[in-house]
Amino acid sequence: MALDAVAVKALVTEMQCLVGGRVDKVHQPERDEIAVGVRTYDTSYKLLISASPAHPRIHLSAHSKSNPKTAPLFCMLLRKHLSSGRITGISQVGFERIVKVTVESYDELGDYTEKSLYVEIMGRHSNIILVNNEGKIIDSIKHIDESLSSVREILPGSMYELPPIQAKTPLAEWTTENNLEFIGTQKVDKGIISQIAGISPLTAREIVYSVFGTTDVLSDAVNTNRLAMIKLEIGKLKNLTENNEFSPCMVEDTQTGKLVEFSAIPIKQYETLAKVASYDSMSELVDEFYYKRDVAVRMRQKTADLVKLLNNHAERIAKKMSILRATLSDAEKMDTYRQYADLITANIYRIQEGHKSVEVENYFDENMGMVKITLDPSLSPSQNAQKYYKKYNKSKTALKEAQKQLEQSAKELEYIESTLAMVETADRLEDVSVIRRELANEGYIKRSTNAQKKQKAEQSKPMHFTSSDGFDIYVGRNNTQNDYLTLKLANSSDLWFHTKDIHGSHTVIKLGLDKDVPKTTILEAAALAAYYSKARESSQVPVDYTTIKNVRKPNGAKPGMVIYEHYNTVYVKPEMLQTEKN
């Protein structure tokens, strides 16, 4: 990610609004994440600090997370030392990805002392460290002893030392007089990163793009003129950083809508392959970017067991259906068994006991050809006929049962795959909880014996959007909500949407008094139905739509399972077109 020293400088500049404020609350929603509430004279802020190996960061945040009932030890320690303290400074240390937050507060003896919270944003080495006024470590969110690092220990009681300085020229100290060399066949952006400290790969590629018009450039393309231009671009970046002239932007893949990168400077290198959205605030940008990324990661962790369970069920059902199809194929021979029995009976006077086979005229054949019938020599002709009649009756029964089970298995597989699609598109833990309860009700997982007995099931509340034409659009989050939306909330004249032959959410346009739905609203509802389906990553998705009166739920069907008729189909790109209403 592009949380380099330039982005940290932009964040620290914005966080100066916290200086003078008092620490109001301290929470630890995750094992490696701290949320600090700060109250100033007229405003309250939330400062989020994460030492996550994947997403380390510090920024102002507008999002909230549920906190554990019992605060972790590090959270309790921060409350002890920082609560009611006044923030006296927030600074970037040496133009590195290190932020120092200084807080004045009373100690155990009632004396006013200064403590510092160092936030080190260094990938898997990221940490949050509380240091007293003598430079000793009070504690840290991660303890690093000599078994983990022979270079630098981070343990309570040790003196705090900054991480080793890289053998690079900091961007803040850069001048055009500095030497810049590109050796061998290395890529130019890699060469820039290896010599200039404080910039990310994204920023380095942007410098190369500004000079060459492309990012894939090898060092042998750098002549004297190009070298001067590269130095000039680095100098421009330094000036923008020194003057706090930041232009926060987020890069989003044009095809899939996935968040790609973010930056504190303008990004042009992706051209038409990505959409670049500008932001007024670096904190707002980072907050949104990491919130979406973090939610995706946490959701994958929280739903991994459900995904595995549902995939296992799907595989088991698929194998069962394969066996049933083989049974059906075998059962198709039942008419042959009956014919053999009839032919043996008709020719019983010609068959002698002990024969292993008999060849007779097949009067079931138009040409009256001869057919050879295998016999059991230990049985009489009559018993052989009865044996074939029994095989016929057995196959007939097996055919009916196999057809019945195959139909049931197909419906169950459709339900499993539909539920799996809901799990994969879920973006809230509450939705996952509803899906768990649904699976428990259907007997796929064990019921919770503690909390579930004490609390009632949450009221299903589908997502609510407003189209650009002012129409209300509702989207189910799971099968339970799909049933509620389609069978209870919607009226017979409302428009109903679903991806064609693709598992996904039910989507409904509530018409009210206005029955004339504009095409733009229809396309927006279809885009939402496509977005909340397994086809979210596709570029064009077929979506069927019809009125609710043409949608019905078969008797005994599982949650979310319906059939529909008399529909139209539109092809749309999956998009989250509107902000969800509260």
pTM (global) more than 0.85: no
Is 398 in contact with 323 (CB distance < 8 Å)?
Answer: no
Tally of CB atoms within 10 A around 497: 26
| For range 132-143, the mean pLDDT | 94
Q: With a cut of 70, say whether residue 342 has pLDDT above it.
A: yes
Query: What are the pLDDT digits (tens) for 492-518?
Result: 999 999 999 999 999 999 987 767 899
pLDDT at 427: 72
Burial of 490 (0-12, 13-18, 19+ CB in 10 A): buried
Report the distance separating Cα 111 and Cα 107, nearest Å. Answer: 6
Query: What are the pLDDT digits (tens) for 170-195?
Result: 898 888 888 888 887 889 999 999 99
| For range 75-97, the mean pLDDT | 94
Long-range contacts of 366-370 (CB under 8 A, 24+ apart): none
pLDDT higher at 341 or 139: 139
Q: With a cut of 80, say whether residue 430 has pLDDT above it.
A: no
pLDDT at 361: 86
Q: With a cut of 50, say whether residue 454 has pLDDT above it.
A: no
Report the distance separating Cα 534 and Cα 536, nearest Å. Answer: 6
pLDDT at 577: 65
pLDDT, mean over the chain: 88
With a pLDDT cut of 70, the percent of the chain lying above it is 96
Q: With a cut of 60, say whether residue 449 has pLDDT above it.
A: no
The amino acid at 530: A
Query: What are the pLDDT digits (tens) for 359-409?
Result: 888 888 888 888 898 899 999 989 999 998 898 888 888 888 888 888 888
Report the distance separating Cα 358 and Cα 471, nearest Å. Answer: 77
Q: Residue 455: pLDDT band by 50, 70, 90 thresholds?
A: very low
